Amino acid sequence: MNDFNNADHSGVILSQFVRRAGQTQALTVVKYFVMLARMSKEAERYLASTSHQPTPKTPQYVQSDEVPGLGKKMQASRRSFIRQAAISAGALGLGGSVAKSAEQTVGIGKPMASKMRLGLVTYNLAKDWDVATIIRNCEQTGFEGVELRTTHAHGVEVTLTKVQRDEVRRRFQDSKVVLMGLGSAFDYHTPDQAKLKKDIEATKEYIILAHDVGASGIKVRPNALPREVPVEKTLEQIGRALRELGEFADGYGQQIRLEVHGSGTSLLPRIRTIIDVADHKNVGVCWNSNQTDLEGQGFDYNFDLVRHKIFEVHMRDLYLEEYPWRKLMTRLNEIGYTGFCLAEISESNDPIRVMRYYRALWLALQQPGGRAA
C-alpha cells in the first residue's frame, strides 16, 4: 500500500495532470481520483477480515507497456498501483478474484465480460464533436455506444439527405461503436392540441431518421405538468401520444424511450402511469438516475415500478455519493438488463482521461457480489 498512499507519489500524479489540463478542468478527474483513494482507506480493514480465506488463483493478463500519461519514472510503480487497486476493489466487496477485478477496473488488463454495456450521451461532454471524433474517442476509451443528442455538432438531424444518412450509418457500422439511439427534445404535455399534433408528427420524422442512420430507437421526454390542467389528464395525454408513436415506430424497428425527466413528471409513479397508458411493446423507459428516484417509498419501490420497461439508462458523474450507484447496478443485473448505461456528463478539456476514469468506476460498480448500496 506504500506506493499508492505515499503523499509524494500521489502528488506527482496529480500535479502532472493539473499542469496538463489546468486546475479548473482537472476538477472532475481529481474527484474520481479521490474516490479511488477513499476506497483504499477501507482496504486494510477488508484484508484483515478476509486474510484467513484462500486467495483464488489470478489469471494472467497481457499488460500494456505504459500507463497513459505517466513518465518513465512512474512506470516502475505501475504494478504497485494495480495491487492497491486490487485491495481497494476488495474493500468494496467486488467479489471473485480481487486482483483480477482491479486490473479490469483500472483498464490495464482485458475487460471483464458483462451483460451491460457502457456508452456516451453527447450531452454535454461530446456536444462539440463530429461523428468521426465521437467514434475515435469512444473506441479509444472502451465506450461501446453513443446516443446522439439533437442540435449538437455531429449534425445528425432530419435535414440530412439519403446519401448523408447512409454515410452516417456506414461510419458506425465500420467502427466498434454502436449508434444505439438519437436523443430528441420532444415532449407531449402541452395543452395546445395543435402544437401537440405538430410535435408528434415531428417525432415521426425523427423515428425515420433513426432508422435510416442505423439506430435502434429515440429518446423522448415529459418535461412539465401545466398548472391549468389536472395531473391525471396530462399523464394520460402523454401516454396516448407515446402509444401512437410506438405504433408508428414498430414499422421502422425502433423503440420509443421515455426519459424520466421534468418537474413533477420525473416521479416514477407518474412515469409508470404514462407507460401503462401507452401500453405498447415498443415504448419503454430511459432510467435517468435522478435524485427523485429515492423519493416516496424509496429507490427499490420506484425501480420496481418500471423494471419491466427499462430500455436504456442515463448516468451522471459516478463520484456523486448521494446517489446509490452500486444499488442501481445490482438491480439492473438482477433483472437481466443487457442494454447501455450512458454517461451523461459535463464537458472537459481532457475528455479522454475523464472517460477512462468513468469507465474504471463503472466497471467497479457493476461487479457481482458487491454491496447493494
3-class SS of residue 186: coil
The pLDDT, as a whole number, for residue 20 is: 53
Do β-strands 340-343 and 310-315 pair in parallel, antiparallel, or remain unpaired? Answer: parallel
At residue 344's C-alpha, the angle toward residues 11 and 263, to 5°, is 125
Amino acid at 318: L
Question: ∠ CA(4), CA(345), CA(104), 5° rounding?
Answer: 40
Single out the residue of 57, 42, 53, 54 nearest to residue 100, CA to CA: 57
Contacts of 204 (CB under 8 A, 6+ apart): 245, 248
With 0-12 / 13-18 / 19 or more C-beta atoms within 10 angstroms meaning exposed / middle / buried, residue 362 is buried
Tell me the CATH number for domain 117-365. 3.20.20.150
Q: Map residue 363 onto helix, strand or coil.
A: helix
Per-residue pLDDT of the chain (373 residues; tens, 9 = 90+): 444 444 444 444 444 544 555 554 555 555 655 555 554 444 444 434 444 444 333 333 333 333 344 444 444 444 444 444 443 444 344 433 433 444 444 443 344 446 899 999 999 999 999 999 999 999 999 999 999 999 999 999 999 999 999 999 999 999 999 999 999 999 999 999 999 999 999 999 999 999 999 999 999 999 999 999 999 999 999 999 999 999 999 999 999 999 999 999 999 999 999 999 999 999 999 999 999 999 999 999 999 999 999 999 999 999 999 999 999 999 999 999 999 999 999 999 999 999 999 999 999 997 755 444 5
Domain coordinates in residue numbering, the chain: 2-105, 117-365
> Grid coordinates standing for 35?
474516490
123: three-class secondary structure by DSSP: coil
Residues in the chain: 373
Spatial distance between the Cα atoms of 259 and 344, rounded to a whole number of angstroms? 13
**Helix, strand, or coil here: 232?**
helix
- The pLDDT value recorded for residue 22 is 54
- Identify the pLDDT of residue 195: 97
